[in-house]
Amino acid sequence: MKVLKKCISMLLITTMMVGLMGCSSNDKRVDNESATEQTATADAGKDTEKKIVLGMTLYSLKNEFTVRLANAATKKAEELGVELKIYDGNYDPSTQINQIETMISDGVDGIILNPQDAEALSVGVDKAVEAGIPVVGVNTRVKSDKLTSYVGSQDVYAGELETQYMVDLIGTKFNAVIIEGPLGQSAQIERREGIQNILDKNPDIKILAEKTANWSRSEAMTIMENWLNAFDNIDAVIAENDEMALGAREAIKAKGLDIPVIGVDGITDALNAVESGDMVASIFQDGAGQGSKAVEVLVKAIKGETVDKEYWIDFEPVTKDNVAEFKLRAQ
């Protein structure tokens, strides 16, 4: 009997947990899911009032920048009275494709895609468009011409801005290392292009090494530690995002050095670092603006209004002079 009881109780716990999870996910919705479906089929007159449902998959929800984007999107969705379901792609393109398929099965009215990989996710866009669901890309690009629209910032420009800032700061002749984002993600490809544009204009800049740290602070720290042991003449660190810039800076400080570091995004820690002088500057990316605009554009498209193919939100350099203003904005 004891065994029986144990088994039953464990099964009950499992099933209760699943049930709980089903209920706890309601904080993003106004009505209960099944209720909406019942009323939708029961009352034809109410069809025009049926809530628009959007799905969004981000390449990760495990870093500040994407969480900022997701939060702003959620806020905008609430403002516009639409439902928004958010999925974490876990840095895995296959997972994101799965999530898109789930969204299609779920019958969403529109999808916002923040792809991990520019090539792999074109399959996802194809599937959605085939099912008649409009897709708006946000923040990172996907190799597809089937997007209804793309909301983002010019990553090539970000790469140029940060490299040019370094040139303005320390001159046209120096040795640098480059820390990159995940290889294959549009942000990495385009920021590297931007960096290269400025490097081409300044042939006296020597790149001692470059490597990907996959947007990770800890990976960047390890890479920087190794480079500091390998080279004793690094004059500057150009990182494609703040997390990695901060990781590199930790490694530099640990060795008692003071090499200028620059990054992109303008996350909270970076703003603090710019203020304290730990980072020379950061190129602020308005993630909140992107998330919010993407929802706005998608809802417009679903309602049949015409939308532009691309919406660009500017990158803005953050330096000691203007960091206070950005800290206020990041609230």
Selected from 36, 39, 71, 122, the binder of another protein by CB under 8 A is 122
**Number of neighbouring beta carbons within 10 Å of residue 237:** 26
Selected from 72, 104, 151, 295, the binder of another protein by CB under 8 A is 104
Where in 29-109 does DSSP place strands (E)? 53-58, 83-88
Question: What H or E segment, with its residue span, contains residue 67?
Answer: helix 64-80
Residues 123-162, interacting with another protein (CB under 8 A):
123
Where does this chain touch another protein (CB under 8 A) — which range of 94-102, 158-166, 246-254, 296-304?
94-102
Q: Does 88 bind another protein (CB under 8 A)?
A: yes
Residues 155-214, interacting with another protein (CB under 8 A):
182-184, 212
Q: In Å, what is the CA distance from 239 to each residue of 6, 67, 148, 203, 212?
A: 54, 20, 32, 19, 10
Where does this chain touch another protein (CB under 8 A) — which range of 25-33, 144-152, 167-175, 219-227?
25-33
Residues 208-247, interacting with another protein (CB under 8 A):
212
**Which one, 7 or 230, has the nearer CB to another protein?**
7
Rounded to a whole number of angstroms, the minimum distance from the CB of residue 202 to another protein is: 26
- Angle, in degrees to the nearest 10, between helices 64-80 and 287-302: 40
Cα–Cα distance measured from residue 298 to residue 122, given in angstroms and rounded to the nearest whole number: 18
∠ CA 304-307-311, rounded to 5°: 150
DSSP state of 110: E
Query: Do you know the residue count of the chain?
Result: 331
The footprint of another protein on this chain (CB under 8 A) covers a number of residues equal to 49
Q: Residues in the site for another protein, rule: CB under 8 A?
A: 3-4, 6-8, 10-11, 13-15, 17-19, 21-22, 24-25, 28, 33-34, 37, 61, 85-88, 90-94, 97-99, 101-102, 104-107, 117, 119-120, 122-123, 182-184, 212
